[in-house]
Amino acid sequence: MRIHLSSVFVDDQDKALAFYTDVLGFVKKTEVPLGEDRWLTVVSPDDPDGTELLLEPAGHPAVKPFREALVADGIPATAFAVNDVHAEFDRLRGLGVRFTQEPLAMGPVTTAVLDDTCGNLIQIVHHA
């Protein structure tokens, strides 16, 4: 068994697609119209057949209070692996990305947390 799909709820799929591709560096994998929304996924360019991230519309009534509670408590919605948290932090900050946690080493793990501009906190992580 392996993870095939994960998702993050987003306020605006177009804005999310731009952020996740143009800023974070993912590539669009699937886009299927579903009424007003789309089945819209991105993948790592390093693993185009790997785990897909669904940019899922945040329209369900339970989503808003759930995401607001996570953000208020500083809890990331998900985490992405990077080769170098400090380098990625510098690159993304140079692109105007707002971080809620600067790089922090915790034993063999270094993390940082960013705001994805679509209602979520996202953690970047590297295991040494």
pLDDT digits (tens, 9 = 90+) for 50-61: 999 999 999 999
Mean pLDDT of 81-102: 98
pLDDT above 90 (res 28): yes
Mean pLDDT of 38-55: 97
Give, for 104, the enclosing helix (H) or strand (E). Answer: strand 99-106
* Residue 125: other Cβ atoms inside 10 A: 17
Per-residue pLDDT, 48: 97
Q: Which are the contacts of 104, defined by CB distance < 8 A and separation ≥ 6?
A: 110, 111, 112
| Mean pLDDT value across the chain | 97
Query: What's the one-letter identity of residue 33?
Result: P
pLDDT above 90 (res 128): no
Query: What's the one-letter identity of residue 59?
Result: G
Reduced to 3 DSSP states, what percent helix, strand and coil does the chain have, rounded to the nearest 5?
25, 40, 35
Mean pLDDT of 90-110: 98
Mean pLDDT of 3-21: 97
pLDDT confidence band for 112 (50 / 70 / 90) = very high
Structure-block tokens of residue 13:
């799929």
The whole-angstrom separation of Cα 64 and Cα 70 is 10
